[in-house]
Structure 1
Amino acid sequence: MPSQEKHEAVAQLKGKLEENSDFILASYSGLTVEEITGLRAKLRKEGSEMKVVKNNLFLLALKESEKHKDKNIAFGPEYQGPLAAIFSNANLPSVAKVLKEYAKVNKNLILKAGYLDGSVLDADGVEAIAGLPSREQLLAQIAGGLNGPARSIASGVNQIIASLARAIQAVAEKNNQ
């Protein structure tokens, strides 16, 4: 029979999953305490949280989570060993960037899987979203794209009004002569 401690751990993980539906799983075996602390600090700056999880308890929490229970998320043999779950409710691509950059410097951090907007990602998928521009960059690109045609329309309307004003001025000058 599972202990009360395990029930509490599953409930806590379930709460994290309900609060932050997007997450990344990474293997951290071989990282020192200082390295993990430094990584956690970088992740906090991105509005995310890294939590060391027991694989079977995390899987139970996923199955009980309202947002994830229909996704049939399962761990295969590649998910053996210690895992860390990185939860993000704001911007998973920027968190994936931080993890990818950290993994370049420290080979002991290995990205395993992720979950983004209802889709299960493998390690390649997590690396792919790390290459995406941040939410702010995408919004700026969209605004720039929308601003270009609006600027052209405004310039065209301005030219029409200016032409009309020049024509009225020419007629007024001709009538005054």
Structure 2
Amino acid sequence: MENPRPEKVAVVDEVRQRFAESDAALLTEYRGLDVTAMGELRRALRAAGGDYKIYKNTLVRFATRDLGLEIDEMLTGPTAIAFVPRAGEGDPVMVAKALRDFARGHPALVLKGGVLGDRILTEAEARGLAEVAPREELLAKLAGLMAAPMQQFAGLLQAVPQKFAYALAALVEAGGPAGAPAGEPGAGAETSIDTTEPAGAADATPAPEPATTEGAGDDTTTPADEAGAHPDDAVAEPATARAEPATEES
């Protein structure tokens, strides 16, 4: 601009500052909207955290060029810009949804594109921004993804003592670890002393030897055999020897 008027310079500075301090700026064409519709649209955007402003295309073009934003193709026809201040509570997605919802009842409102951060958005990309989940929902999903591994880890820590207790109970019920020596505690067998004799021990008892008469021959016969009587009929009286006192002859 050659010799711009101070008011124009002030507007350019204002536009430049708004772009620099905003997370997003969505450009629209509002041709055909009356005052009532414009007031309704401003209220809807304000509720979403946006600020709807109308500037001359020439002044916007000077301001954005200073910031390195090439949006000259969008600056045709009557243009109004929905800013999403970085310091506010606005969400570019919610502002884009508000524009989309308003345009459904007012086809005269046309979304031409915009700026998200330092990125230029085409008309299709600006429309697609309205289909993205809100920031709160995205943050909740992100928190859920971050919390899921921690929950799984906590579940594993809780499962370890439980599984150990189950294994220990099964081990006790089974009678101890496999390969434990018999008779030791935990081997599942009571300590006992085997008192049974080994097989064949009774046969090892020596038999009594037959009585023999020293110096008798093969033809030795007993008195019972000579008398021809039953052995029970013969009663042997014990032989007694009486010692007579010795007398001396006078």
Q: Tell me if TM exceeds 0.5.
A: yes
- Mapping of residues 127-146 of structure 1, within 5 Å: 127-146=127-146
Q: Greater strand share, 1 or 2?
A: 1
- Mapping of residues 149-160 of structure 1, within 5 Å: 149-160=149-160
Distance 2:171 2:51 in 1: 71
- Mapping of residues 2-81 of structure 1, within 5 Å: 2-64=4-66, 69-71=67-69, 73-76=70-73, 79-81=75-77
CA contact (8 A) 2:23 2:92 kept: no
Aligned CA-pair RMSD: 2.3
Distance 1:74 1:140 in 2: 34
Q: Secondary structure at the match of 1:70?
A: coil
Distance 1:59 1:70 in 2: 10
Which position in structure 2 is the counterpart of 1:92?
92
Distance 1:85 1:158 in 2: 55
What's the CA shift for 1:3? 1.3
Consecutive unaligned residues in structure 2, runs of 5 or more: 176-184, 186-250
CA contact (8 A) 2:32 2:108 kept: yes
CA contact (8 A) 2:61 2:75 kept: no
Look at both structures and tell me which one has the larger radius of gyration over its CA atoms. 2
Distance 1:170 1:80 in 2: 81
Does 79-88 or 141-150 show the bigger shift? 141-150
Matched residues, number: 171
Which position in structure 1 is the counterpart of 2:242?
none
Q: Which amino acid aligns with 1:16?
A: R
Which position in structure 1 is the counterpart of 2:229?
none
Consecutive unaligned residues in structure 1, runs of 5 or more: none
What's the CA shift for 1:94? 1.3
CA contact (8 A) 2:29 2:77 kept: yes
What's the CA shift for 1:83? 0.4
Q: What TM-score, normalized to structure 1? A: 0.85
Q: Which amino acid aligns with 2:83?
A: F
